Amino acid sequence: MFSENDLKKVPEFLAQSMQRLEKELLADIIRRIEQAGHITRTADYELYRLSQLNGFNKDYRKLIQHALDLSDAQMKELYERVIANGYAHDETLYKGVGVDFVPLSENTELLQLMETVQKQTLSDISNITNALGFTVDGQFKSVQGYYGELLNKTLIEVSTGVFDYNTALKKTVNELTASGVRYIEYESGRHDRIDVAVRRAVMTGMRQVTAKIEDDNAEKLHTDLFEVSAHPTARPSHALWQGKIYTKQQLIDICGLGEAGGLCGVNCYHHYMPFISGFSERRYTDEELAKLYQRTLETHEYGGKTYTLYEATQRMRALERRMRVQDERIALLKKGNADKADITIMKNRRTATYNEYKDFAKAMGLPEEMARVFTKGN
């Protein structure tokens, strides 16, 4: 049995590792651009440019490798702990129906699957870090290529007087943070921020393992019934089927198991677990589920607009992302020694966003989740 919080731990932890990588990478770019803003002699230009490109490429690979090494160690430790805890909770079901429970340490097939999935997930993360870049004016540019463009523009624009350094810095910071470090799938053209891509890759692997555990449990416990978890901020389409008992086929037909928009699909943290008739107790009564569903339909007004609970959580995530971007801009402007007035303007915008976030959360009856804004380890 796995809780929603358990399922979020591994992908969220590794997503934060990628957010740290992004911050370190952007800070390194701005540090180098700040240095380039002081190069004015044309004789220095070409040698300096080549030196900076070589130095950046070396440092960039070091940052990537450090992030991958940390991801390897972190994922193994946290992954195994989360799986072990969820697996151990199911022992009660086995005892209740008189079936022998096989400890995780003796479940060779599952251990092999866990190892395979971990290796595949780390390989996916490595592939993601090998295809990073920025989206600027609708075009995707590799990290190294975009840095080269920024360096050239800064050296030329500042030295020729097209832009003063502070204007060039603000433009660069806005471009970097508006895009964020992104992963692109060249075949499809799809791109996501690096933390989103890694979170999805890790969650896909986790789903493989947890589904294997629950399906094996059901087979060993001789049941074809499963209970789906429930939570009050479910999207409307999921709120219709959450918390109820289904056969495996009904999980597919009714809940959309196996589909991107269904149970255990993209951005879904619902899960299912075996249900033993005559032994298991439902986590939610029909009356409780009816109240939960009605709550998902409730609307609250803010700023002349009405929001359901799910829409409100989506709006809060958007405001949290905006605050993260604003925090990045403040940090990068400071790193680049921007004018204090520009830093103050950005700080005021950040304060205004937080005030909106705080007021919105209060109006919706939802808790603030500022931990989503701050990246641990900084």
Structure tokens at 186: 């060249």
Residue 295's pLDDT band, with cuts at 50, 70 and 90, is confident
Alpha-carbon dihedral sign for residues 85, 89, 95, 98 = negative
Hey, is 184 helix, strand or coil? strand
Hey, is 260 helix, strand or coil? coil
CA–CA gap between residue 285 and residue 243 (Å, rounded)? 9
Contact 255, 262 (CB under 8 A): yes
Find, among 195, 217, 198, 310, the residue nearest to 271 by Cα: 217
Contact 314, 234 (CB under 8 A): no
Contact 11, 202 (CB under 8 A): yes
Tens digit of pLDDT for each residue in 110-148?
999 999 999 999 999 999 999 999 998 888 899 999 999
Tens digit of pLDDT for each residue in 313-370?
999 999 999 999 999 999 999 999 999 999 999 999 999 999 999 999 999 999 999 9
The pLDDT value given to residue 378: 44
Tens digit of pLDDT for each residue in 197-243?
999 898 888 888 999 999 999 999 999 999 999 988 888 899 999 99
Burial class (CB within 10 angstroms; exposed 0-12, middle 13-18, buried 19+) of 257: buried
Contact 212, 107 (CB under 8 A): no
Tens digit of pLDDT for each residue in 150-166?
888 887 877 777 778 88
Tens digit of pLDDT for each residue in 48-104?
888 889 999 999 999 999 988 888 888 888 888 888 988 898 898 899 889 999 999
Q: What's the pTM?
A: 0.85
Alpha-carbon dihedral sign for residues 99, 100, 101, 102 = negative
What does the domain layout of the chain look like in residue ranges? 1-222, 223-288, 298-372
Tens digit of pLDDT for each residue in 22-49?
999 999 999 998 888 776 555 567 788 8
* Sole residue written with tokens 């641990």: 376
CA–CA gap between residue 10 and residue 203 (Å, rounded)? 8
H or E element: which one contains 123? helix 108-129
Residue 297, pLDDT > 70, answer yes
The pLDDT value given to residue 40: 57
Tens digit of pLDDT for each residue in 124-133?
999 999 999 9
Contact 194, 21 (CB under 8 A): yes
Average pLDDT over every residue of 10-24:
89
Hey, is 268 helix, strand or coil? coil
Beta bridge partners, 139, equal 136
Maximal CA-CA distance, the chain: 85
CA distances from residue 313 to 317, 319, 357 in whole angstroms, order as listed: 6, 10, 11
* Sole residue written with tokens 């251990």: 111
